[in-house]
Structure 1
Amino acid sequence: MPSSQVQTHTISESRYPWDKLSILLFSIAIILLFWGIGWRAPWPADEPRFAEVAREMVATGQWFFPMRGGELYPDKPPVFFWSIAFFYWMTGNLKISFLLPNAFCGLLTLVLVWDLARRLWDIKTARTALFLLLLAPQFLIQAKNAQIDAMVACWITVSCYCLIRHFFLSPNWRLYHLAWAMMGLGVITKGVGFLPILMFIPMAVYFFPQRHALPKAFSKRAWFGPLVMLAVIAAWLIPLLILTGVNDDPQFQAYRDNILFRQTAERYANSLGHLQPWHYFISSVIPVFWFPLPFMVIAFWKPLRDSWKRYPVVWVLLSWVVLVVVFFSISPGKRGVYVLPALPMLALALSPAVDLLDNKRWLHWLIMTVLTLIGVVLFFGGIAGIAGLEKAVRELEEQTLQAGVMLCITGGIWLATLWYRRTHNAYLTMGGLLAITWLIFASWGYHLLDPNRTPKAIMAEIAHSVGHDSELGLVNFKEQHILFSSQTVTHFSYLAPIAEQERRAWAWLHEAPDRYVLIPDSAKVSCFVMSKGKDMGLAHRRHWMLFEPSSAEPECTPPQSMRKFVTQRPYPW
């Protein structure tokens, strides 16, 4: 714990103009964040679902309740979907709009980390914080995907930024209340937006012995902060309760109960998916996806210890990072992206201690060894792909050759660069290689992977085979089948058991002519003869079979209900 005698909360809020190196770093960041947008479609697991929800918001005008295929989507609040829908409404291009929100959130996160380091210390430290955040792989991975975590991490960063400025620079009540407002926005984005509250624990430990030192920052006005957060949440929650309360459709009550209880406290305390041991983040996620920042903590331990004694804000930030990791480690359900909100504050906390020109010998060779292993895997993985095609293996497609060439070239660049710069600064070498790799992957790689990560070819083949005016029923499907269909699509409740979906599909198939049903070959069906289905191709590791009335069983157990959802020719591309 820092000494109570250190009065570093009186740090002056100095201002510096933009310098050339900061402009260069931000220019590189902008290129990396926005490079590749519009060059690929949404990819599983979450992106097609979120893009379809946003598309339906714009198509139907129903923005309050997220829906996929006309059925309520009860797993997430609507804020992230609103952002995609807004850009889709503005641009009319879903291929561009679904990646824009996180790109802007990533840029805002970088700006806030840079600006806070500049205000707390100096412009050199700000550049270090910016570079460290760009260096950690998880940041760009999430900023270039359409998952909710990058957005909620941005709102949490805004909140932390405001709290730090209020308590460790000059008191600013607008920023203080904005911090709580952003927590509320984070909660209605993905539940865990309240995490900045944990920062009050280390701040209380530090400020309590000297509570007389900051009377302005800790006045009675501080109690209005939680009310601001609750007001933001209530702006969404009260209409939700009213609209679901007056609606007779039970799916709206189920949506309310799921979003308020099952997806929050129940999911945290008794998660049924993504079960991992308590040390999962410490042993498997942070060393890999935050590399090399955790090892910098060890390499620069002495200056880091000196910096938190001199600047208690560093101790507060590091304590908060630990508390966030502990918070997520307690829950049995864990995914690597959960700890992303802590990464920007870790980069900020390390920035006054890390000297990017100080090539710590063991850390230098650790980074160079890890990068060399990655380069070897890329190069020889590409060679294996090319050699496989030369042996005329029938299963390999044209993309395999191109992918092999891409991997071989990328690996060659890595190995040549690492050899040339083997004694040079390892941090800059890693940053440069990651930047080059993202430029290659987000252009050439997107082009190669897009056909294999979407069902576009299968849905086009179905429309060509049976006609665009026919109707298509879906059983045991994924949202991407709706997203890429140029036909009117009917599904039988994503939430219904597969057997019930099949029975409803069988009855629907016989109600009108020119109807077909699409089912994966892995499904255990009793109302359709799998051998009579027409194989439409492979997508998402499964073959998809198309059935017409003649390929169905003559009889089928009647369904419990005929609940179905119809989407009129959704194809947005």
Structure 2
Amino acid sequence: MRPTRLRSSAPWFLLLALIVASLLAGLGMREPSPPDEPRFVLAARQMVETGQWLLPHRGSELYAEKPPTFMWIQAATYKVLGNWNIAFLLPSLLSALLTLWLTWDLSRRLWNRRVARYAVLGLFVCIQFGLMAKRAQIDMVLVGMTTLSLWALLRHLLLGPNWKLLALGAFAAGVGTVTKGVGFLPLLALLPWAAWRWRHPRVTGAGRGWGWWLILPLFIAGTCVWLAPLGIALLHNPDPHLQSYAQELLFKQTGTRYANAWHHKQPAWYYLQVIATLWLPGSLLLPWLVPAWWRRLRRADPRYIVLLGWALLVLLFFSASPGKREVYILPMLPALAVAAAPLLAGLLRRTGVRWALLAYVLLLAVATLAIGYGALHGDGWAQRNAAKRAIDPWVLPQVGAWLLGFGIAALALVATLRLRRAGLAAVLATVLLWAMYGLGLMPALDPYSSAAAVMDKARQRIGDGELGMVAWREQNLLQTHPQAADFGFKRPWSEQWELAGQWVAAAPERRWLFVLKQAMTPCADPARVIDIGSANRNEWQLLPGTALDTACVAASHGEVAETPDETNDD
């Protein structure tokens, strides 16, 4: 590379280094927090400790809501690093970095390097992307796999033929499907491409060939990463629990969950709201992007037809299901960033676009300044929310200082870069946001969001006693060392109490129960029930084994006044 080219690329490399540093910020500085992180880490930890990797467990029960692929990755990462606080977050971080690289490379191949840089920056600034990169949920790993599949497929469809990449795309879609059931979505890109080819049959590119027959067998091969060992286990093990696990995961948690969802029900337009909020500030550009996209679609540019056609199919697919969560449409975002990238340089010369981005940074700064000031000075709103989550008052000033620091820095960006460089201000504000989130906010709130604080109190109270758990949450069990006894997670409270009573009866002087307050049995001596604390908006109690009338529990079959909130769904 020539010295002049190195000098011209230096600002880009500096910006890229800041992006990577902001995503890395806070790695290893917190523990898993709800809703999803503790259950995945709990299953991964049990894989490592028991050596049983085929089927994930949530305590003593099989965990059938998700395939084990993501938990395998977390467990394997721990085996390499030996540190759970790093291992549980690293798969999401690496998937985010992979997604950024794939976005850059696909944009470079479809257009040029300058466009590729805009694609990376456009993807990074969207709030949902950074948030998922810093969370240990399946969705970021899924996005990494779907983007890999789409990258390979589009290189074959638009720049090919390249049958090896077609095979890679089909295989990656299969692996994505056994990571989370919708991993097959990249294959939908074949539909808009086929429609374009039908209208333009004489255009060269990926056309006829024996390689198309690779798609189905290689997709199936990708799913066999997990389905093959599961199938072997089903053939050789008649255990009804294993059969029930397979039936629930393969049918209820896939087809039934999509067609007749039993929770997270939202209206058909729900994802428009998600795009408008969680894809900020990128969504602010849609009034300019949509007409520009439409003009290019009318010119029958295959790059836009496939990218935008695929994104629309994904949106329609998820909108058709009654069950919706904001993370479901995240796989669309890299493709839309690639489709927007060629237009961004021109859009950023428009005064309206610059004002929109600068106003976003300014509002973000003002909002964090207001919240930070309230937390620092302990106003009513901050104190009320801290009390709901049992956050110690001394934590509020620490949180407030970080928020104020971010707000002041964001205001400095607005004052320094002003309207002319509003795009750069949005990128740098996002860098500061994720640095502040990772280094300041999450570590400060971690003892309360992870339930570590309340479980430390329980551990100190019981000393060298044994702990059992009734009506527990995953984060509570995860925070026990050694892992506490449990009596089922989805099992009704009454059945949990029956099993807990038998467990306590074997050694009442040594055994204690950690219990959700509303699940406490009437067979306990109320005078000896200990209010141990609050975590994740739940009140928890500690019950000495000697304060439980186990004969009463057996006679009443553990009956308690159960509420609809006795378990938490995925």
TM over 0.5: yes
Q: TM-score w.r.t. structure 1 length?
A: 0.89
**1:220 correspondence with 2:210:** yes
- The match for 1:556 is 553
**1:211 correspondence with 2:201:** yes
Distance 2:477 2:237 in 1: 26
Q: 1:29·1:107 contact (CA, 8 Å) conserved in 2? A: no
Q: 1:375·1:412 contact (CA, 8 Å) conserved in 2? A: yes
Cα distance change on mapping 1:326 and 1:531 into 2, 3 Å: farther
* 201-210 or 213-222, which deviates more: 213-222
Q: 1:355: Cα distance to partner?
A: 1.1
Cα distance change on mapping 1:557 and 1:113 into 2, 3 Å: same
- The match for 1:459 is 455
- The match for 1:360 is 350
Q: 1:504·1:559 contact (CA, 8 Å) conserved in 2? A: no
Query: 1:360-400 deviations in whole A, cap 9, x for unaligned?
Result: 22232233333323322211212222222799979661001
Q: 1:57: Cα distance to partner?
A: 1.1
Q: Which amino acid aligns with 1:415?
A: L
* 219-228 or 18-27, which deviates more: 18-27
- The match for 2:287 is 298
Q: 1:235: Cα distance to partner?
A: 4.1
Distance 2:90 2:294 in 1: 39
Query: Which residue among 427, 432, 436 is the counterpart of 2:428?
Result: 432
Query: 1:99-123 deviations in whole A, cap 9, x for unaligned?
Result: 1111111111111110111111111
Distance 1:472 1:508 in 2: 10
**1:536 correspondence with 2:525:** no
Query: Which residue among 241, 244, 254 is the counterpart of 1:254?
Result: 244
- The match for 2:116 is 126
- The match for 2:142 is 152
Distance 2:278 2:120 in 1: 17
Alignment of 1:71-90 (within 5 A): 71-90=61-80
Q: 1:524: Cα distance to partner?
A: 5.3
Q: 1:549: Cα distance to partner?
A: 3.0
Query: 1:246-303 deviations in whole A, cap 9, x for unaligned?
Result: 3343221121011100110100001111111000001x10011112333323224554
Q: Which amino acid aligns with 2:476?
A: H
Query: Which residue among 518, 521, 538 is the counterpart of 2:517?
Result: 521
- The match for 2:561 is none
Distance 1:494 1:356 in 2: 55
Q: 1:378·1:411 contact (CA, 8 Å) conserved in 2? A: yes
- The match for 1:499 is 494
- The match for 1:446 is 442
- The match for 1:233 is 223
Query: Which residue among 312, 316, 321 is the counterpart of 1:322?
Result: 312
* 390-399 or 545-554, which deviates more: 390-399
Distance 1:26 1:410 in 2: 20
- The match for 2:19 is 29
- The gaps in structure 1 that reach 5 residues or longer are 1-15, 562-573
Q: Which amino acid aligns with 1:285?
A: V
Q: 1:506·1:527 contact (CA, 8 Å) conserved in 2? A: no
Distance 1:135 1:387 in 2: 31
Q: 1:173: Cα distance to partner?
A: 0.7
Query: 1:435-493 deviations in whole A, cap 9, x for unaligned?
Result: 1121122112122111111222222222222223x211101111222221124511111
Aligned to 1:545, what secondary structure does the other structure show? strand
Cα distance change on mapping 1:25 and 1:179 into 2, 3 Å: farther
- The match for 2:567 is none
Distance 2:514 2:87 in 1: 29
Cα distance change on mapping 1:547 and 1:173 into 2, 3 Å: same
Aligned to 2:531, what secondary structure does the other structure show? strand
Cα distance change on mapping 1:236 and 1:527 into 2, 3 Å: same
Q: Which amino acid aligns with 1:293?
A: G
Cα distance change on mapping 1:551 and 1:32 into 2, 3 Å: same
Distance 1:118 1:437 in 2: 28
Q: TM-score w.r.t. structure 2 length?
A: 0.90
Distance 1:356 1:49 in 2: 46
Query: Which residue among 15, 32, 37 is the counterpart of 1:42?
Result: 32
Aligned to 2:66, what secondary structure does the other structure show? coil
Q: 1:472·1:515 contact (CA, 8 Å) conserved in 2? A: yes
Q: 1:25·1:131 contact (CA, 8 Å) conserved in 2? A: no
Query: 1:476-518 deviations in whole A, cap 9, x for unaligned?
Result: 1112222211245111111201221122212221122401111
Distance 1:466 1:271 in 2: 42
* 414-423 or 254-263, which deviates more: 414-423
**1:477 correspondence with 2:472:** yes
- The match for 1:351 is 341
What percentage of aligned pairs have identical amino acids? 35
**1:288 correspondence with 2:283:** no
Q: 1:550: Cα distance to partner?
A: 3.4
**1:409 correspondence with 2:399:** no
Distance 2:281 2:453 in 1: 40
Distance 2:484 2:526 in 1: 21
Cα distance change on mapping 1:342 and 1:523 into 2, 3 Å: same
Distance 1:246 1:231 in 2: 21
Query: Which residue among 87, 98, 105 is the counterpart of 1:97?
Result: 87
Q: 1:31: Cα distance to partner?
A: 1.2
Q: 2:512·2:544 contact (CA, 8 Å) conserved in 1? A: yes
Distance 1:311 1:412 in 2: 44
- The match for 1:13 is none
State the number of aligned residues: 544
Cα distance change on mapping 1:228 and 1:393 into 2, 3 Å: closer
Q: Which amino acid aligns with 1:442?
A: G
Distance 2:483 2:72 in 1: 24
Aligned to 1:407, what secondary structure does the other structure show? helix
Distance 2:321 2:382 in 1: 49
Query: Which residue among 136, 152, 160 is the counterpart of 1:170?
Result: 160
Q: 1:534: Cα distance to partner?
A: 0.9
Distance 2:13 2:477 in 1: 43
Q: 1:234: Cα distance to partner?
A: 3.0
- The gaps in structure 2 that reach 5 residues or longer are 559-570
- The match for 2:568 is none
Q: Which amino acid aligns with 1:151?
A: V
Distance 1:274 1:228 in 2: 33
Cα distance change on mapping 1:485 and 1:218 into 2, 3 Å: same
Query: Which residue among 55, 60, 75 is the counterpart of 1:65?
Result: 55
Cα distance change on mapping 1:67 and 1:499 into 2, 3 Å: same
Q: 1:526: Cα distance to partner?
A: 3.2
- The match for 1:135 is 125
Q: 1:409: Cα distance to partner?
A: 2.2
Cα distance change on mapping 1:378 and 1:252 into 2, 3 Å: same
Distance 1:177 1:75 in 2: 29
Q: Which amino acid aligns with 2:167?
A: H
What RMSD, in angstroms, separates the aligned Cα atoms of the two structures? 2.5
* 134-143 or 515-524, which deviates more: 515-524
Cα distance change on mapping 1:387 and 1:149 into 2, 3 Å: same
Cα distance change on mapping 1:197 and 1:556 into 2, 3 Å: same
Aligned to 1:64, what secondary structure does the other structure show? coil
Distance 2:159 2:383 in 1: 65
Cα distance change on mapping 1:522 and 1:376 into 2, 3 Å: farther
Distance 1:181 1:391 in 2: 51
Q: Which amino acid aligns with 1:176?
A: L
Q: 1:540: Cα distance to partner?
A: 1.4
Query: Which residue among 360, 373, 377 is the counterpart of 2:367?
Result: 377
Q: Which amino acid aligns with 1:370?
A: Y
Distance 1:506 1:345 in 2: 55
